Structure 1
Amino acid sequence: MKVRTEKFDVVVCGGGLAGFCAAVAAARNGSKTAIVQDRPVFGGNSSSEVRVTTHGSAAFHSYARETGIISELLIEERARNHEEINENGWTNSVWDMTMYDMAMSTPNLEVFLNTTVQKVNKLNERTVDSIVCHILNAEVELTLQGKVFIDCTGDGIVADQAGCEWRIGEESYDEFKEPHAPKEASMNVMGSSLHFKAIDMGKPVPYEAPDWINHYEDASFFYKHGRPLETTGFKENDRYRGGYWWIEIGIPWDTIHENEDIRHELTRHTLGVWDWIKNKDPELKEIAKNYALEWIGQVPGKRESRRIMGRYLMTEHDPLTKKDFKDEVAFGGWNVDLHTPGGLLAPSSEPAAMEGYKVVSDFQRKTLCGPYAIPLNMMISKDVDNLMMAGRNVSATHAALGTVRVMGTTAIMGQGVGTAAAIAINQGLTLPEVADQQIDIIKQQLLRDGCFLLNTKNNDPKDLALKAKIKGSSEASCTGVGPNTIGVHKGLMFWKTQHQTAKSDKLTERRGQWIAVGTKPIDKVGVYLTNNSNEVQHVVSKILKVDDIWDYSYEGSKELAETTLEIAPGESQWVQWEVNLNQSNGLPNNGYIRLDLLKNDDVEWHRAGKIEPGQVCGFDIGDRMRRYDHGISMSYSVSPAQNCYSPENIISGYTRPYRHTNLWRSDENSLEVPWIELSWDVAVNISQVELTFPGNILREYHAYESFYRDSQCAKDYSVEAMIDGEWKELFKVQGNYQRQRKHQLKENIQTDRLRLTIHSTHGDPSAAVYELRCY
Structure 2
Amino acid sequence: MTRRVTENYDLVVCGGGLAGFTAAVAAARMGHRVCLVQDRPVLGGNSSSEVRVVPRGSTTYHAYAREGGVLAELMIGERMRNHEPIFENGWANSVWDLSLYDMAQRTDNLTLLLNTVVREVSVEDGRITSVTGWTSSAETDTVLGAEVFLDCTGDGVVAALAGCDFRSGEEARAEFGEPHAPLEASEATMGNSIHFKTKDVGHPVDFELPEWAVEYDDPDFFYAQGRVPYDVRGGFWWIELGKPWHTIHDAEVIRHQLTRHALGVWDWMKNKDPRTREATRNLALDWLGQVPGKRESRRIMGLHLLTEHDLVRDEPFEDEVAYGGWNIDLHTPGGLLAPTSEPTAAAGYDLHSTESTTAYVGPFGIPLRSLVAKDVSNLLMAGRNVSATHVGLGSVRVQATTAIMGQAAGTAAAVALARRLPVHEIPTAAIRDVQQQLLKDGCFLPNVVNTDEQDLARSATVTASSEAVNLGASPGDRWVDGGLRENTRHSSGYLTALRAQWIPVETGPEAPGLRTVSVLLRNHADRPVEIPARLQQVEHIWDYRVRTGAVLAETVLTVEPGEHWVTWEVGVEATALRVQEPGGQYVRVDLASAPDVEWLRAGRILPGAVSAFEMSPGRMRRFGDGVTMSHRITPAQRAYRPISVVRGAARPHRATNSWRSDPGHPLDQWLQLAWDEPRQVGTVHLTFAGHLLREYDHTPTLWRDPQTVRDYTLQTWSGEGWRDVLTVRENGFTRRVHRLPEPVLTSALRLVVHATNGDPSAAVYEVRCYADAR
Q: TM-score range by the shorter chain?
A: over 0.9
Whichever residue aligns with residue 167 of structure 1, its letter is R
Whichever residue aligns with residue 749 of structure 1, its letter is V
3-state DSSP of counterpart to 1:612: coil
Gaps of 5+ in 2: none
Whichever residue aligns with residue 264 of structure 1, its letter is H
Output the CA distance in 2 between the equivalents of 1:134 and 1:374: 34
Offset at 1:555? 2.9
Please state if 1:302 is matched with 2:284. no
Question: In the alignment, which residue of structure 2 is the partner of 1:676?
Answer: 671
Contact 1:23 1:418 survives alignment (8 Å): yes
Whichever residue aligns with residue 168 of structure 1, its letter is S
**Which of 337, 343, 348 in structure 1 is aligned with 2:340?**
348
Offset at 1:134? 0.8
Normalised TM-score (structure 2) = 0.97
Output the CA distance in 1 between the equivalents of 2:475 and 2:218: 47
Contact 2:667 2:754 survives alignment (8 Å): no
Comparing 300-309 and 353-362, the one that deviates more: 353-362
Please state if 1:581 is matched with 2:575. no
Gaps of 5+ in 1: 234-239
Offset at 1:670? 2.2
Normalised TM-score (structure 1) = 0.97
Please state if 1:511 is matched with 2:465. no
- Per-residue CA deviation, residues 289-337 of structure 1 (Å, 9 max, x unaligned), is 2211000000001000000000111111001224410101100000000
Contact 2:42 2:114 survives alignment (8 Å): yes
- Per-residue CA deviation, residues 569-592 of structure 1 (Å, 9 max, x unaligned), is 123x21111111013333646110
Output the CA distance in 1 between the equivalents of 2:208 and 2:662: 62
- Per-residue CA deviation, residues 120-161 of structure 1 (Å, 9 max, x unaligned), is 01232x110111111121111111111110000000000000
**Which of 499, 516, 521 in structure 2 is aligned with 1:529?**
521
Whichever residue aligns with residue 669 of structure 2, its letter is P
Question: In the alignment, which residue of structure 2 is the partner of 1:444?
Answer: 436
- Per-residue CA deviation, residues 484-532 of structure 1 (Å, 9 max, x unaligned), is 0111112211147xx3123xx1111110000001132111110011111
Contact 1:24 1:109 survives alignment (8 Å): yes
Question: In the alignment, which residue of structure 2 is the partner of 1:339?
Answer: 331
Please state if 1:704 is matched with 2:694. no
- Per-residue CA deviation, residues 608-664 of structure 1 (Å, 9 max, x unaligned), is 001000000001112211000101100000100000100000001000100000000
Please state if 1:618 is matched with 2:612. yes
Whichever residue aligns with residue 149 of structure 1, its letter is F
**Which of 764, 769, 772 in structure 2 is aligned with 1:774?**
769
Offset at 1:671? 4.3
Output the CA distance in 1 between the equivalents of 2:254 and 2:439: 41
Matches for 1:296-445 after TM superposition, within 5 Å: 296-445=288-437
RMSD over equivalenced CA pairs, Å: 1.1
Contact 2:487 2:624 survives alignment (8 Å): no
Please state if 1:175 is matched with 2:180. no
Output the CA distance in 2 between the equivalents of 1:724 and 1:595: 49
Question: In the alignment, which residue of structure 2 is the partner of 1:501?
Answer: 491
Contact 1:520 1:643 survives alignment (8 Å): no
- Per-residue CA deviation, residues 162-204 of structure 1 (Å, 9 max, x unaligned), is 0100000000111100011111111010000010011122222
3-state DSSP of counterpart to 1:101: helix
Structure 1 runs of 4+ with >4 Å offset: none
Please state if 1:605 is matched with 2:595. no
Matches for 1:537-552 after TM superposition, within 5 Å: 537-552=529-544
Question: In the alignment, which residue of structure 1 is the partner of 2:80?
Answer: 79
3-state DSSP of counterpart to 1:393: coil
Question: In the alignment, which residue of structure 2 is the partner of 1:166?
Answer: 166
Comparing 582-591 and 10-19, the one that deviates more: 582-591
Question: In the alignment, which residue of structure 2 is the partner of 1:237?
Answer: none
3-state DSSP of counterpart to 2:90: coil
- Per-residue CA deviation, residues 663-707 of structure 1 (Å, 9 max, x unaligned), is 000111124621011111111111101100010001111111111
Contact 2:537 2:548 survives alignment (8 Å): no
Matches for 1:586-597 after TM superposition, within 5 Å: 586=577, 588=579, 590-597=584-591
Output the CA distance in 2 between the equivalents of 1:181 and 1:469: 53
Output the CA distance in 2 between the equivalents of 1:118 and 1:734: 48
Output the CA distance in 2 between the equivalents of 1:442 and 1:354: 41
3-state DSSP of counterpart to 1:284: coil
3-state DSSP of counterpart to 2:277: helix
Contact 1:521 1:587 survives alignment (8 Å): no
Output the CA distance in 2 between the equivalents of 1:3 and 1:320: 49
Contact 1:560 1:587 survives alignment (8 Å): no
3-state DSSP of counterpart to 1:770: strand
Output the CA distance in 1 between the equivalents of 2:108 and 2:698: 32
Matches for 1:82-161 after TM superposition, within 5 Å: 82-124=83-125, 126-161=126-161
Offset at 1:460? 0.1
| Identity value in percent | 51
Output the CA distance in 1 between the equivalents of 2:404 and 2:690: 18
Contact 1:88 1:195 survives alignment (8 Å): yes
Contact 1:332 1:409 survives alignment (8 Å): yes
Output the CA distance in 2 between the equivalents of 1:511 and 1:732: 45
Whichever residue aligns with residue 732 of structure 1, its letter is T
Contact 1:458 1:653 survives alignment (8 Å): yes
**Which of 533, 547, 552 in structure 2 is aligned with 1:555?**
547
Offset at 1:216? 1.3
Contact 1:78 1:708 survives alignment (8 Å): yes
Whichever residue aligns with residue 545 of structure 1, its letter is Q
Output the CA distance in 1 between the equivalents of 2:512 and 2:745: 37
Whichever residue aligns with residue 525 of structure 2, its letter is S
Question: In the alignment, which residue of structure 1 is the partner of 2:558?
Answer: 566
Whichever residue aligns with residue 482 of structure 2, its letter is K
Question: In the alignment, which residue of structure 1 is the partner of 2:453?
Answer: 461
3-state DSSP of counterpart to 1:221: helix
Whichever residue aligns with residue 510 of structure 1, its letter is L
3-state DSSP of counterpart to 2:137: coil
Output the CA distance in 1 between the equivalents of 2:113 and 2:519: 58
Output the CA distance in 2 between the equivalents of 1:329 and 1:42: 24
3-state DSSP of counterpart to 1:254: coil
Contact 2:667 2:755 survives alignment (8 Å): no
Comparing 387-396 and 208-217, the one that deviates more: 208-217
Please state if 1:201 is matched with 2:192. no
Contact 1:666 1:767 survives alignment (8 Å): yes
Output the CA distance in 2 between the equivalents of 1:200 and 1:745: 49
Quick one: structure 1 residues 188 and 322, their matched pair in 2 at CA, closer, same or farther if it must change by over 3 Å?
farther
Question: In the alignment, which residue of structure 2 is the partner of 1:636?
Answer: 631
Contact 1:473 1:672 survives alignment (8 Å): no
Contact 1:171 1:185 survives alignment (8 Å): yes
3-state DSSP of counterpart to 2:188: coil
Contact 2:171 2:390 survives alignment (8 Å): yes
Offset at 1:254? 0.8
Offset at 1:725? 2.3
**Which of 662, 665, 679 in structure 2 is aligned with 1:667?**
662
Whichever residue aligns with residue 662 of structure 1, its letter is N
Output the CA distance in 1 between the equivalents of 2:473 and 2:340: 45
Output the CA distance in 1 between the equivalents of 2:251 and 2:87: 27
Output the CA distance in 1 between the equivalents of 2:534 and 2:40: 55
Contact 1:322 1:370 survives alignment (8 Å): no
Whichever residue aligns with residue 576 of structure 1, its letter is T
Output the CA distance in 2 between the equivalents of 1:431 and 1:323: 24
Quick one: structure 1 residues 243 and 557, their matched pair in 2 at CA, closer, same or farther if it must change by over 3 Å?
farther
